[in-house]
Amino acid sequence: MHTKRHSLTEGSIWKSMLLFALPVFLGNLFQQLYNAFDAWCVGYFIGDDALAAVSSSGSLIFMMVSFFQGLSMGAGVIIARYFGARQYTSMRKAIHTSIAFGLVVGVVLTALGVALTPTILRWMGTPAEVLPRSISYFRYYFFGAIFIVMYNIFVGILHAVGDSKHPLYYLIVSTFVNIGLDVLFVGVFHLDVGSAAVATTISQGVSALLCCIHLLRVDAPYQVKLKEVAFDKKSLLEIIRYGFPSGVQNSVIAFANVVVQSNINSFGKAAMAGCGSYSKLEGFVFLPVTCFSQALSTFVGQNLGAGNHRRVKKGIGFGIACSCLIAELVGGISYLISPQLIGLFCETQEAIDFGVRHMRTICLFYFLLAFSHCVASILRGAGKSTVPMFIMLACWCVVRVSYITIAVKLVNELTTVSWAYPISWSLSSIIFLVYLLKADWIHTFDRQTEKA
């Protein structure tokens, strides 16, 4: 059975973490490639108006999806803990409960996304000239919400048991499907922006289906059996307990980003197109942050489940250092070539100028973002999901929204909005550092495990 092959509880720490993180990095890279290709196709074949329409919905999509992604993180923590402790019966109950939960959530998210699209986009102050296209793109996107949810559930299961390679394979396939459909729908058939969302939905459905087939066929304790997909009360309560704080954190932070996007919208469609181009590039920049934070969450969960405290402490130092160094290197390169990067998506100089100013204000502070995300993932892996929730709500929501509300009235410039990110990242990093150095979070996890 494939258990030791994926375990992060044995062997070289740096090797096991890198072997887990590298496929996550490559998988997210391919995912960002097809997201960026969506934007490039829309901007190149249809124009900046269409790109602005697609960009205006980015923070809205994240706000709607992020709560349920946070809940799936709770499932990953539970599964990783049981896998590390080799409590396979409890692990299987958690796996099948998370799948049942995901199916229900997918239906709810689809209904909410389709129904609330026009209201929220108008509330965000989306300009009238791009509103119809924004509504079209957003609604088509959310018709495939169940695929997004189930893909995250399946990948969460595989990551929790240390398997990051198979999600990579399936993302590569779905990337080529998405790129091919983008070219066909937008470039060949000359359909409008809604077709780009349809292409994304189909590709996400492909990746979710491939993950599901693998879990149904794998010869391992985490094999999924359809007849066992049901709600187990204890597992459901644990998933909610560990996942609900992450879901609240994600959705409220996303709400703060919607406020940021609303202020960007007030500068017009050129600013929307330029900053929207940056948001597509930002996904590539955050890849080192994402891959090491996911690796740290799984590493901490498995090793604390196995009682390997010393290994946990060594692993988190390596993971944080790698993530911060790589993130800052990418940030420096992004600063130097930002005009060329933004120019890949925008056709007007005005939009490019807006995007460059936004990017150069933010990109040299990526190491702070990396540090905050890594420590948050460590604490979630240790079962302390309420701590990063409160820290990030305070810094990334309350401080960010308060700053924008006051500062934009005093200095009505785009860079004023852009500074909201470095300021909030700095505050959260300071608080996380103090907590990580002083808090007895490992033994808190042990007490929670004993109660469970």
pLDDT category, 180, cuts 50, 70, 90?
Answer: very high
Predicted local distance difference test score (pLDDT) of residue 154: 94
What's the whole-number average pLDDT of the chain?
84
Predicted local distance difference test score (pLDDT) of residue 75: 84
pLDDT category, 362, cuts 50, 70, 90?
Answer: very high
Residue 452 lies in a domain: no
A 10 A CB-CB count for 359 gives 26
* Long-range CB contacts for residues 260-264, cutoff 8 Å, separation at least 24: 260/59, 260/400, 260/404, 260/417, 260/420, 261/56, 261/58, 261/59, 261/60, 261/124, 262/124, 262/125, 263/404, 263/408, 263/417, 264/414, 264/417
Q: Are the CB atoms for 370 and 362 separated by under 8 Å?
A: no
* pTM for this prediction: 0.76
Cα separation of 431 and 388, whole Å? 10
Predicted local distance difference test score (pLDDT) of residue 205: 93
Q: In which residue are the tokens 């990334």 written?
A: 396
Residue 451 lies in a domain: no
Per DSSP, 91 falls in state H
Q: Are the CB atoms for 128 and 56 separated by under 8 Å?
A: no
Predicted local distance difference test score (pLDDT) of residue 188: 86
In 3-state terms, the chain is what percent helix, strand and coil (to 5)?
Answer: 85, 0, 15
pLDDT category, 452, cuts 50, 70, 90?
Answer: very low
Predicted local distance difference test score (pLDDT) of residue 58: 61
Measure Cα distances from 399 to 147, 270, 324, 404 in Å: 34, 27, 23, 9
The mean-pLDDT minimum among 101-105, 175-179, 277-281 falls in 277-281
Mean pLDDT of 83-104: 92
Scored b (16 or more CB within 10 A) or e, 290-303 reads bbbbbbbbbbbbbb
Predicted local distance difference test score (pLDDT) of residue 170: 93
Residue 301 lies in a domain: yes
Q: Extract the tokens encoding 270.
A: 């050129």
Give the domain extent around 431.
11-437
Residue 450 lies in a domain: no
pLDDT digits (tens, 9 = 90+) for 141-155: 888 889 988 998 999
Phi, psi of 372 (to 5 degrees): -60, -45
Per DSSP, 348 falls in state S
Residue 444 lies in a domain: no
Predicted local distance difference test score (pLDDT) of residue 99: 95
Predicted local distance difference test score (pLDDT) of residue 33: 75
Predicted local distance difference test score (pLDDT) of residue 36: 72
- Flag whether pLDDT at 235 surpasses 80: yes
Residue 4 lies in a domain: no
Distance spanning both ends of the chain, measured CA to CA: 26
The mean-pLDDT minimum among 40-49, 222-231, 295-304, 390-399 falls in 40-49
Q: In which residue are the tokens 């990337």 written?
A: 175
- Flag whether pLDDT at 259 surpasses 70: yes
Predicted local distance difference test score (pLDDT) of residue 335: 93
Predicted local distance difference test score (pLDDT) of residue 233: 92
Q: Are the CB atoms for 404 and 100 separated by under 8 Å?
A: no
Mean pLDDT of 92-119: 90
| Total domain count, the chain | 1
Residue 447 lies in a domain: no
- % the chain with pLDDT above 90: 26
Predicted local distance difference test score (pLDDT) of residue 230: 94
Q: Are the CB atoms for 35 and 255 separated by under 8 Å?
A: no
Cα separation of 95 and 360, whole Å? 43
- Flag whether pLDDT at 123 surpasses 50: yes
- Flag whether pLDDT at 394 surpasses 80: yes
Residue 446 lies in a domain: no
Predicted local distance difference test score (pLDDT) of residue 450: 47
- Provide CB contacts within 8 A for 172, sequence distance 6+: 27, 30
- Flag whether pLDDT at 197 surpasses 70: yes
- % the chain with pLDDT above 70: 92
